[in-house]
Every structure is written in C-alpha cells, then in structure tokens.
Structure 1
Amino acid sequence: MVYTTDNLILDRQAILQKITRIAYEIYERNFEEERLVLAGVYENGYILAQLLEQELKKISPLTVELMEVRLHKTQPLQHELNLTPSPESLTDTVVVLVDDVLNTGKTLAYTVRAFLDKDCKKLEIATLVDRHHPLYPISATYTGYSLATTIKEHIKVELDEENFGAYLM
C-alpha cells in the first residue's frame, strides 16, 4: 500500500491530540466512576484503546481495564466473537468500545451484542474517524475526526512506527 502526504488526513501528532481529547471527554462523562473498561476491536481499535488507557491514567484516578475484542469482520455470525480477558463481571461498569474507523456500523453493531447480557452500567463508543455511512443504528459517543467520504473511498489507519497516520484511499 502506498502512503503519501497527498492522502494523509491525520499525522502522528494529530492522532495523538485526538486521543488526548477523547480521553478528557471520556473522563468528563465518567468522572464519578471508579472503574472503566476500554474494549478495543482487534487490531487497531485495541491499539487505540491502549493509547487511551495511557492518557486516562495520566489525567484521572479511574481504574482503567483493557479488553481485546476479536470478531470476523466480514462474517461475524459464522465465527465466534472473543473477549480477552474474559470478563468476570461488567455489572454496573462503564464500557467504552474502541475502533479506528466507524464506517457502516456493522463491526460495532456485532460487537455490541457481546456486551448486551453483561449488565453494563453504560456502553459507549469511541472511534478515531467517523465516515458517516451508517447502515446500522450505531453512532460514536466520542469521535476524533469526522469526515464525509464517498462510499468508494476508504480510510486506512496505520498505527505502526513506519506509517503512523490515517489515510484517505
């Protein structure tokens, strides 16, 4: 994949600023809580959840726990959804689902179902980029960058050292 400054929409600094802002928003909405679970959708959502956890620990007294969510994104009903670590209890706990890009809402809609029987106090969604192509009734509680795109365009988020950025493809 070719990444250039021509298709770069968020560079490293911009992404880190968005993560810091989202962390403050999460804390502002949940400042009375003692415990918060960040459930990141593998792979980039989990990396973003890790970065959010670092920021939340800097700015708040919240106990923040990480959870990795793995599902088959194109055939979610034919494959098992896994939560790692498996939650002992999420009763009366705020859970924030984290993913890199919210496109149609399909991935997050299927992810939400894994938490519906866990008796969460509140279930919120954080996403780095919201593309505004909802086909499922999912919207982000926290959005880093909102971008209207055509259905043929794609957003690719890279969070490795070499290509840390968000790109319009």
Structure 2
Amino acid sequence: MTANIRTLFDEDAIAARVAAVAQEIAEGNPRNLLVVAVLKGSFIFAADLVRAMHRANLEPEMEFIHLSSYGAGTEGSENIRVLRDVESDVNNRDIILVDDILESGRTLAFARERLIGRGARSVRIAALLDKPERRKAAISADYVGFACPDKFVVGYGMDMGHAWRQLPFIGYVVASEDEAAADGKTGA
C-alpha cells in the first residue's frame, strides 16, 4: 500500500501529552482502577498510558475489549461486534476506557454502556484523539490527548487497512499528488 503520510503529532508531543493525561487521571483519585483498552488501535496508547500512570503513582489493572466496527475499510459502521470481551469483574470499580480515536462515538458508547451494565462504579473515557465534528453518539471523552483535524490518521497503533500501525508518530494520509502539493506546508 503506497501513500504519502504527513506528520500530525510527533513522538515528543505524544509522550508529553500521554504523561499529562496520566497525571489528570491520577488527580481524579480513582479507586480499584481498571484500564480497559479497546483493541486494536489503542494498544500502543494504552501501554504508554499505563506506564505513565505508574509514574503518577497509580497501580491500575489492565484488560482488553476487542470491538469491530471498521473491518478493513475507512468508514465506520453502525454494526458493533464484540470479538473479545472484558474477563475481569468490573463491579464497583473505576474504569478508564482507552481508545485511539473518538470519532462517531458509537463504539465507545457501546463499550461504556456494557461496562456500566455490569456494575462499574464509574467509566471514564481516555481518547488519544478527538474528532467532535464526526460525532454520531452523545458521548465525549473525559481525557483527551489531542483534538484531531478531519483527516484520516495512522500510526501509533492506528491503521488504514491494517497498515502503518507501527509508525512512532501520528500522521495523516495524503491521498493524491494534488492534495500532497496543496498540503506541502506540513512535512513528514
């Protein structure tokens, strides 16, 4: 798969913001904390976030939920499937639901309601990126890494058709030569 990718947030900016989000979470004094990462896109953010939480004197447990609404494409779907569910007892626990990007909000609203329905004391959302102009569900993040422009982003765990998750930065895909020329002010 060939595409031009422009840097949106570099490694240093991401590291600084992840540390700040962990500190914001710590200031909320969560009890019996469980971090639930939404797979697959959030895995790098979630790993860095729990390490930053440790440095902020939190001792979270970690779990995963794997939900599918995108498949291999680029457009979200209203169909949400549970591919892997949280195995831990969530009853009376403070939960931080971690996702790579809050866009339509459907997936996170689904996951949040699922955890609340199982008796979680609180469910707060930490989203690395927030695209409020794309919101379809009435939900917002409690902790946000960055506001995201309306571009298709990749890297730092996020993909396009299963490619570019490994990039250490967050970039956006420039689809055509004309778009790349018009966007020449942003370098990779």
TM-score normalised by structure 1 residue count? 0.83
Whether 2:43 is the aligned partner of 1:43: answer no
Contact 1:124–1:140 (Cα < 8 Å) also in 2:
yes
Name the larger-Rg structure. 2
Q: Go from structure 1 to structure 2 and tell me whether the alpha carbon gap of 1:68 and 1:155 turns closer, same or farther (over 3 Å shift).
A: same
Aligned residue for 2:60, secondary structure, equals: strand
Q: Go from structure 1 to structure 2 and tell me whether the alpha carbon gap of 1:73 and 1:17 turns closer, same or farther (over 3 Å shift).
A: same
1:64 corresponds to: 60
1:166 corresponds to: 170
1:66: how far off? 0.7
Aligned residue for 1:92, secondary structure, equals: coil
Contact 1:101–1:155 (Cα < 8 Å) also in 2:
no
Whether 2:146 is the aligned partner of 1:145: answer yes
1:117: how far off? 1.8
Total equivalences in the alignment: 159
Contact 1:39–1:46 (Cα < 8 Å) also in 2:
no
1:82 corresponds to: 84
Deviations 1:109-166 (A, max 9, x none): 22223212221111100011101121111111000111342xxx31223348952111
1:54: how far off? 0.7
Contact 2:105–2:139 (Cα < 8 Å) also in 1:
yes
1:98 corresponds to: 98
1:76: how far off? 7.1
How many Å separate the matches in 2 of 1:27 and 1:125? Answer: 14
Question: Kindly, what percent of the aligned residue pairs are identical?
Answer: 21
1:23: how far off? 0.1
Aligned residue for 2:68, secondary structure, equals: coil
Bigger mean CA deviation after superposition, 153-162 or 125-134: 153-162
Contact 1:105–1:138 (Cα < 8 Å) also in 2:
yes
1:117 corresponds to: 117
1:65: how far off? 0.7
List runs of 5+ in structure 1 lacking aligned partners.
none
